[in-house]
Amino acid sequence: MGNQWKLKEIVLMSILGVVFGIIYLAFFLIGQGIRNILAPFGLAPFGYEIIFGIWFIVSIIAAYIIRKPGAAFTAEVIAGITEVLLGTAAGPGLILSAAVQGAGAELAFALTRWKDYRLRVLVLSGMTAAVISFAWHLFYAGNIALAPGVIVATFAVRVFSGALLAGVLGKWISDQLAKTGVLRGYALGKELQKQREQGAA
Amino acid sequence: MISSINPSIKAIAVLIPGIMLGFTFDVFTPLLYFIFILIVTFTMSDIPISKWLKFFSPFLIVAASFAWMTILYANQTFSYGKVLFTIWGLEITEGSVITGCSLALRSLCFVSLSLLFALTTDSTKFMLSLMQQCKVPPKITYGILAGYRFLPSFREEMEILKQAHRIRGVHRTKGIKGKLQQLKRYSIPLLASGIRKAERVAIAMESKGFTGERERTHFHQLTVQKKDWMFLALLIGGLAVIYITSYYLGYLNIFGKQF
């Protein structure tokens, strides 16, 4: 996070973090709703897992737009701080959970040395975030007390959700934003511009 | 008074017990700590009980459903003891009920620790303290503050968007597909305007001489005093004493291991 970061990139990352912090809080209620619907079928543990990917999305969006080491991690932590400042059920420990998830998402980008931002890497990032965060919740939320079958099934659902809701949806939202032209000053917008010029030539 | 405790120290003081609580699976330890936090909250801060209850009460339901889920799906390590009753073909044992109640109480501890922090901390001071005590780069903290300040304006912009849609004859749509389209129509422009604002704020900050250097002066100089360390020691020491007490009374259970 040194000098190679421009101020506008940092402010953008912070604003994304704050905005998605609120969205994350809203999805907590949605998860609770899904869980109440699923509970009579005995599927309550899956209530949050189905939509768990949404809680990694800011990592993917920030990394995909800004394309610098640390973007995925920091944006997620900022979202976590916002949630804590606004008041959340998970408590200040949520900042730790956010750091773990952000590190998980960052891992996929680190593996490609922060050079590859194709869909497959974004999907991988959603999945690594899911894997790491799942391990963390085994300990932190006490999920380790659940039956092995339930643990394996919830794990599969979370990874799938991470791939889809964070990876694919994150890319889609960023691409839609890039189309509006507001990202012209950032890596994603510049890439789009280049593609357009090549297409025109 | 808790509102005058240094925000960074306060954050650490609620964070560490939060992690330490992750080890216990008995009822006694989190219950005692929950009572301890309640005592701290209502004797050392001026949060009105009614306000606290307003924030806290929804989480009782969350905690209850959390307990219920664990009771139903506890694994072998945690479903010790005799079978109490059977539901939907699942045997509910003494151990799983204890584990479920323990996890519920743990989450109530998290909530009350969180409220203790959130209801007594000013977000600007928290950011200033992160900068001054934790050496977080000013670029990030001021960025977060700027983002935080934009929150109220999002609501206003949402209104404008709604009116703009109405004047152009875009109506509410039905069905899941329509709802998704509607979500896109609102979320993308809102985010786009947020990004524009981010860019404008960044340029304004730089043009007014903000370099993001760590060597800078502050309007509010926050310091760490003896009382801050005492608060930290109180919250962590309290948990340590409770752990020891529950060990001597034979209640302590760490990851399913009885001590």
pLDDT of residue A58: 94
Name chain A contacts of B25, Cβ cutoff 8 Å. Answer: 142, 145
Beta-carbon separation of B18 and A93 below 8 A: yes
Beta-carbon separation of A11 and B198 below 8 A: yes
Residue range A138-164, pLDDT digits in tens: 877 777 777 788 888 889 999 999 999
User: In sequence order, which residues have a C-beta less than 8 Å from that of residue A120 and are 6 or more positions away?
Assistant: none
Name chain A contacts of B255, Cβ cutoff 8 Å. Answer: 144
Q: Quick check: is A166 in a domain?
A: yes
Question: CB contact, 8 Å: B122 with chain A?
Answer: no
- At residue A190, φ and ψ (nearest 5 deg) are -65, -40
Q: Quick check: is A14 in a domain?
A: yes
Which residue of chain B is at minimal alpha-carbon distance from A84? B118
Q: Quick check: is A201 in a domain?
A: no
Please say whether the beta carbons of B201 and B146 come within 8 A.
yes
Domains: count for chain A: 1
**Nearest chain B CA: its distance from A35 CA (Å):** 9
Residue with tokens 């808790």: B2
- How far apart, in whole angstroms, are the C-alpha atoms of residue B30 and residue B28? 6
- How far apart, in whole angstroms, are the C-alpha atoms of residue A57 and residue B213? 30
Domain-wise residue ranges, chain B: 2-121+221-258, 146-207
Question: CB contact, 8 Å: B232 with chain A?
Answer: no
Beta-carbon separation of A177 and B192 below 8 A: yes
Q: Is the dihedral of CA B15, B20, B24, B29 positive or negative?
A: negative
Beta-carbon separation of A150 and B184 below 8 A: no
- How far apart, in whole angstroms, are the C-alpha atoms of residue A79 and residue B119? 19
For residue A47, is pLDDT > 60?
yes
Question: CB contact, 8 Å: B136 with chain A?
Answer: no
Considering only the beta carbons, identify the residue of B76, B99, B192 that sits closest to A180. Answer: B192
Question: What would the mean pLDDT of A97-126 be, rounded to a whole number?
Answer: 91
* Test mutation, A1, A16, A18, A180, chain B, max B CBs within 10 A: A18
3-state secondary structure of B253: strand
3-state secondary structure of B18: helix
Which A residues 98-137 touch B at CB under 8 Å?
none
Question: CB contact, 8 Å: A150 with chain B?
Answer: yes
User: Which of A15-29, A50-64, B50-64, B164-178 has the lowest average pLDDT?
Assistant: B164-178
Q: Which long-range contacts (CB under 8 A, 24 or more apart) does B11-16 make?
A: B11/A92, B11/A95, B11/B117, B11/B126, B12/B232, B13/B231, B13/B232, B13/B234, B13/B235, B13/B236, B14/A91, B14/A92, B14/B113, B14/B114, B14/B116, B14/B117, B14/B235, B15/A92, B15/A93, B15/A95, B15/A96, B16/B235, B16/B236
For residue A3, is pLDDT > 80?
no
Best CA proximity match to B105, nearest among B206, B258, B251, B257 = B251
Beta-carbon separation of A84 and B118 below 8 A: yes
Name chain A contacts of B143, Cβ cutoff 8 Å. Answer: 7, 10-11, 13-15
pLDDT of residue B81: 65
Q: Which residue has the higher pLDDT, A132 or B211?
A: A132
Q: What is the pLDDT along chain B (259 residues), one digit of tens a residue?
A: 788 889 889 988 888 888 888 777 888 888 989 999 899 888 888 888 888 888 888 788 878 877 777 777 766 666 666 666 666 666 677 777 888 888 888 888 888 888 888 888 888 888 888 888 888 888 888 888 887 787 788 888 888 888 888 888 777 667 777 777 777 788 888 889 888 888 888 889 889 888 777 778 888 888 888 999 999 999 899 888 888 888 887 777 776 666 6
Name chain B contacts of A148, Cβ cutoff 8 Å. Answer: 75
Paired tokens of B28? 């006694």
Considering only the beta carbons, identify the residue of A16, A81, A146 that sits closest to B70. Answer: A146
- How far apart, in whole angstroms, are the C-alpha atoms of residue A91 and residue B22? 13
Paired tokens of B43? 């004797």
What is the extent of the structural domain holding A110? Answer: 7-193
Question: What would the mean pLDDT of A63-67 be, rounded to a whole number?
Answer: 92
- Cα–Cα distances in angstroms (integers) from residue A187 to residues A12, A65, B48, in the given order: 12, 6, 48
pLDDT of residue B255: 66
Name chain B contacts of A144, Cβ cutoff 8 Å. Answer: 75, 255
Name chain B contacts of A66, Cβ cutoff 8 Å. Answer: none
Which B residues 182-201 touch A at CB under 8 Å?
184, 187-189, 191-192, 194-199, 201
pLDDT of residue B229: 92
- Residues of chain A above pLDDT 70, percent: 93
Question: CB contact, 8 Å: B11 with chain A?
Answer: yes
- Count other Cβ atoms within 10 Å, centred on residue A151: 18
pLDDT of residue B96: 78
Best CA proximity match to A142, nearest among A101, A104, A90, A98 = A90
Which A residues 2-41 touch B at CB under 8 Å?
5-8, 10-19, 22, 32, 35-36, 39
